[in-house]
Amino acid sequence: MNRVTIGLLSIHCFGLVSVRANNPIVVGQGLTDPKVRIYGDRAYLYATHDVSAESKYWRMNDWWTWSSDDLVHWKYESTLKPEQTYWGKPWSSCWATDGISYNGKYYFYFSRGNNELGVVEGDTPIGPWTDPLHKPLVASGSVPTAARDPAILQEKDGTTYIIFGCWDYYIARLNDDMVSLTEKPRKIELDQKMGPYGPGKTDDKPFLHKYNGKYYLSWGCFYAMSDNIYGPYTYKGCIITQERTAPEFQKALVFDRHGSFFEFHHQWYFACNDQSWPGTTKFFRDSIISYVHYRNSGEIEPIYINRIGVGQYDASQSRIEAEDYFNAEGVTQGECPDGGFELRNIRDGSWAEYPNVTNLLINALVSFRVAAVSPQSGTIEVHENSISGPLLGRVHVPGAKGDSTYQTVSARLNNTDARENLCLVFHGGAGEIFRLNWIAFRKP
């Protein structure tokens, strides 16, 4: 039985209680190649499983499903073994995977090494799984690239596509049965090849997601954009930079960042591999998650990779970026003239949640960097746990006088704990009230 140690928390991996983590999200278990899907209020992570820190090659004997309702506490759910698939026997190259739901069924797509793609189905996001085809979904040699690393994009109307490949990427629409293709896979057009190996090459690890009507083709931490799912795609850049990556996460900075994008509670995230943490190697990796923000142009702002991760906050930091909420209603995000990003279109009754705020001083002084938009004044209420939870404090935001500029407003909280789940509730007149750039906690 494996054992996980995270900070002061030591647990047995199987049997399993939830794992509370920062980045990496699950330490020392070989949880890698993460693809996250949201079903209801829970995130399900479909992943490959590096066997051992002693491995001298990519040895992966099965696939995993984990889940979380807050992206902080992760629970092992199930294992898919190659014996449960058409292959019917053990296999040490259980490569990347993805999952999706359609018409009440759940589908788990997987790579059998770099040779071919298979699929299993189940009645729940965690199985049990059965193989409906008893053969590959995409067979070896069916396209002029390695048939590996499947990723799924599903439109709002349920139309579903699968993408896969290495160096060149191929895409095909799935039938409504989700286990067959409606068309021969098409090669995706990309105007410029760039990746961890430099100009002229991409990588494997393709992924597709859609944001604000645009399609994003990514391979690891590199990406391109298009107005059409089939392309052509225009290369845009890399979302991981050295200056935004904490020193302890800079090993193999852009290599093997097998990443995927997902939206949860109106917030976007990027999950990817990491081999920086003590005990990891090229063949025994962890997974990390970071916030994702889109510029006004639609391009992706380079992400921050750090120890604290997502879904939790450290009050001892210089500030907490307002756009890094865990959940929110009635707000949007956009670039801020004061620097970085901001919450926009805040209206009466809008709210934003920041759970798991640690290192709070008792009766802390909270400050908000705000720009009033309406001539009418407004308020920011700080509640405990939810919008209807106990009121911990309230700050007055003066109305705008002419052109609005950012100002800092503060209030003392009536908190008695060093850790709180905080919910900001905004009040004011009609229309947009103000914009919020950041939150900071000071000594009372």
Q: What residue ranges do the domains of the chain occupy?
A: 3-311, 314-442
All residues at 6 or more sequence positions from 8 whose CB lies less than 8 Å from its CB, including other chains = none
Whole-prediction pTM:
0.95
SS3 273: strand
Closest CA to 127 of 87, 161, 97: 97
DSSP codes of every residue in 133-177? SSS-SB-TTSSSS-----EEEE-TTS-EEEEEEESEEEEEEBPTT
Tokens 């970026």 -> residue: 321
Please state, for a pLDDT cut of 90, what percent of the chain lies above it. Answer: 92
Closest CA to 347 of 391, 382, 380: 380
CA distance 268 to 273: 17
CATH topology of domain 3-311: Tachylectin-2; Chain A (2.115.10)
Is 3.40.50.2000 the CATH classification of the domain at 314-442?
no
The answer to whether the CB of 279 falls within 8 A of the CB of 38 is: no
Closest CA to 116 of 90, 134, 142: 142
Tokens 């909280």 -> residue: 413
Confidence of residue 221 (pLDDT cuts 50, 70, 90): very high
What is the token pair recorded at 245? 């990556």
pLDDT in tens, 368-385: 999 999 999 999 999 999
**CB atoms closer than 10 angstroms to residue 433:** 27
pLDDT in tens, 52-70: 999 999 999 999 999 999 9
SS3 126: coil
pLDDT of amino acid 12: 38
Closest CA to 126 of 108, 144, 150, 103: 108
pLDDT of amino acid 16: 45
SS3 259: coil
Confidence of residue 405 (pLDDT cuts 50, 70, 90): confident
**CA dist 269 to 239, 290, 300, 387, Å?**
12, 6, 11, 24
Is the N-terminal amide bond of 24 cis, ω within 30° of 0? yes
Answer whether 3-311 and 314-442 agree in fold.
no
The yes-or-no verdict on residue 341 having pLDDT over 70 is yes
The answer to whether the CB of 413 falls within 8 A of the CB of 363 is: yes
The amino acid sitting at 87 is: W
pLDDT in tens, 21-47: 689 999 999 999 999 999 999 999 999
Count CA atoms within 13 Å of residue 444 on its CB side: 11
The answer to whether the CB of 261 falls within 8 A of the CB of 207 is: yes
pLDDT of amino acid 11: 37
